[in-house]
């Protein structure tokens, strides 16, 4: 089938409904940034852009339910399930539905599903990259505030990172801990060549940011 601009518009309208009252790190602005980046990377990587854009719009529609239960289930699988119900209404054929749902289910890649198409790889990269760079730092501070930690830093981050425990939703989950545990490894996780270029540049920015951050904490700057 041909995925028209009109269909994309309708899907966007429908997807947006699931973001009412969403937290700042995973609100509609996240989807818009992932869309911008995915289309940029997807064009270079020669992905099917309409298919990719549809998957981007729906990739986190199950996120609100996951946040409510503090991570009790995987939102990628939930979003995939919801997409299977939405897409037939807009005339998507089975092949397209399977391709789009694969992108959605694989975007997290902490579950068992490995991104196996170029569209799935690009969505995965764009989504990961939104946790990186200047935006990534902004989101990390916002997330630790929202998730229950009220410290900007605690000075124990390097130690805590070594324990390999999950500190998400924990009182010690500062932005710098997020960086030590997750954000600094994003550059090693992206899958496409173009994604890698973006990831390295965003990584350098974060590295410099936290270097300056600690110099300021210690009054050296």
- Point out which residues bind Fe ion (CB under 5 A): 60, 127
Q: Which is nearer to Fe ion, 166 or 208 (CB)?
A: 166
Contact in structure between 176 and 157 (CB atoms under 8 Å): yes
28: nearest Cα among 20, 39, 36: 20
Query: Least distance (Å) from Fe ion to the CB of residue 102?
Result: 15
CA distances from 144 to 2, 59, 152 (A): 42, 23, 8
Give the nearest distance from C-beta 169 to Fe ion in angstroms.
16
Rounded alpha-carbon distances, angstroms, from residue 161 to 90, 116, 158: 46, 31, 5
Minimum distance between the CB of residue 65 and Fe ion, rounded to whole angstroms?
12
The CB-of-75 to Fe ion minimum distance in angstroms stands at 6
* Nearer CB in complex with Fe ion: 30/187: 30
In sequence order, which ranges of the chain are alpha helices (DSSP H)? 5-16, 28-44, 49-58, 63-68, 75-86, 94-106, 118-129, 133-146, 157-162, 175-181, 193-217
Structure tokens that stand for 80 in this block:
């995939």
For residues 22 and 63, the answer to whether their CB atoms sit within 8 Å is yes
DSSP state of 219: T
Given the complex with Fe ion, which of 106 and 160 has the nearer CB atom? 106
User: Which tokens go with 163?
Assistant: 């324990």
Closer residue to Fe ion (CB): 95 or 110: 110
Cβ at position 34, least distance to Fe ion in Å = 6
Question: Min. distance of Cβ 30 from Fe ion in angstroms?
Answer: 6
Nearer to Fe ion, 51 or 77 (CB): 77
Q: Retrieve residue 127's tokens.
A: 């989504």
């Amino acid at each position: 089938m041909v995925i028209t601009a009109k269909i994309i518009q309708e899907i966007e309208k429908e997807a947006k409904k699931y973001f009412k009252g969403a937290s700042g790190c995973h609100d509609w602005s996240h989807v818009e940034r992932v869309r911008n980046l995915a289309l940029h990377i997807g064009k270079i990587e020669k992905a099917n852009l309409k298919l990719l854009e549809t998957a981007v719009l729906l990739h986190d529609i199950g996120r609100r339910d996951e946040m409510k239960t503090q991570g009790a289930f995987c939102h990628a699988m939930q979003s995939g399930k919801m997409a299977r119900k939405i897409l037939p209404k807009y005339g998507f054929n089975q092949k397209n539905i399977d391709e789009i749902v694969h992108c959605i289910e694989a975007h997290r890649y902490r579950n068992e599903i490995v991104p196996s198409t170029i569209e799935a790889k690009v969505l995965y990269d764009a989504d990961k990259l939104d946790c990186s760079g200047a935006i990534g730092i902004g989101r990390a501070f916002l997330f630790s505030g929202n998730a229950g930690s009220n410290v900007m830093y605690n000075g124990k981050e390097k130690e805590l990172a070594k324990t390999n425990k999950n500190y998400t939703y924990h009182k010690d989950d500062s932005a710098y801990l997020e960086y030590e545990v997750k954000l600094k490894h994003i550059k090693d996780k992206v899958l496409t060549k173009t994604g890698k270029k973006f990831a390295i540049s965003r990584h350098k920015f974060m590295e410099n940011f936290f270097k300056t951050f600690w110099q300021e904490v210690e009054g050296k700057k």
